């Protein structure tokens, strides 16, 4: 799995091959998250920080533009529907 990348990380960082592989797997798992999973997770995280929904949904909309595979632009209403159904 991604042997060239594992080798590159092992050569260019203090990581050994096993550590480099784990880092790659963690990064790939992070970006494997669907848009819906990301929106729900971020909503929970931001809510736990004490933010209110108006702030939360604006922040999530901004965060989505920086995802690895940019999802379609979602309205605030669409974001709310993902969270609350």
Is the pLDDT reported for residue 67 higher than 90? Answer: no
Is the pLDDT reported for residue 1 higher than 70? Answer: no
- d(CA 4, CA 30) in angstroms, rounded, equals 20
Query: What pTM, to 2 d.p., does this model score?
Result: 0.65
Give mean pLDDT, residues 38-64: 96
Express each pLDDT in 17-50 by its tens digit. 999 999 999 988 888 888 899 999 999 999 999 9
Domain spans in the chain, listed from the N-terminal domain onward: 1-32, 35-84
Burial of 3 (0-12, 13-18, 19+ CB in 10 A): exposed
The pLDDT score that the predictor gives to residue 28 is: 86
Mean pLDDT of the chain: 91
């Amino acid at each position: 799995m991604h042997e060239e990348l594992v080798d590159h990380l092992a050569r260019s960082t203090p990581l050994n091959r096993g550590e480099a592989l784990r880092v790659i797997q963690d990064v790939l798992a992070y970006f494997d998250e669907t848009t819906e999973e990301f929106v729900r997770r971020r909503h929970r995280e931001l809510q736990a920080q004490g933010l209110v929904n108006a702030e939360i949904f604006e922040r999530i909309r901004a965060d989505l533009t920086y995802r690895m595979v940019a999802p379609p632009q979602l309205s605030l209403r669409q974001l709310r529907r993902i969270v609350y159904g």
